[in-house]
Amino acid sequence: MKITSVIPGQQDASPIGKNSAATSGPSFQDILKQELAANKSTPSSDIPAVSATAPVPAALRLNSLALAEDTINTLENFSAALGNSSFSAQDLEPFAAALEGDTAALVNLKNQLPENNPLSALLERVATASYVEAAKLRRGDYHA
């Protein structure tokens, strides 16, 4: 068998097998060019687009982050108080009240943010943790 060099774009019209019929239609290179041109003209949907919403005021961002940090600190202090056997249920009450207040404030700040803002997701997660811990204490989950 003799192998000859193939130039890009050149098609061999000779059949490969004895019974192979000639095919008609666009060549692979034509289809490839069409697909590449179509992919260049349409943006990829894999990369999320940055929303064109109005920017969040700096004061709102700072207040939100400060409150989230304070709430996390309250949760850590509450965790330490739960580990201390000298604390009674009445001693833990201020933690529940503080967590409930923080939850309400976090939800209020979250509602002021755009829906798809990453800070909104953070506030929601911290508020959820705060609410759950306060509810557990009120329900009696931490009382022996």
Least confident of 40-49, 74-83, 122-131: 40-49
pLDDT above 70: percentage of residues in the chain: 74
> Model confidence over 101-127: pLDDT tens digits?
999 999 999 999 987 888 999 999 999
> The tokens of 11 are what?
């098609």
The reported pLDDT for the residue numbered 19 is 54
Residues 50-58 have a mean pLDDT of: 66
pLDDT above 90: percentage of residues in the chain: 41
Least confident of 42-46, 69-73, 96-100, 137-141: 42-46
DSSP 79-98: HHHHH-TT--HHHHHHHHHH
The reported pLDDT for the residue numbered 88 is 84
* Angstrom distance (rounded) from CA 85 to CA 89: 10
Secondary structure letter of residue 86 according to DSSP: T
Whole-model pTM: value is 0.60
Give the residue with greater pLDDT, 96 vs 10: 96
The reported pLDDT for the residue numbered 14 is 54
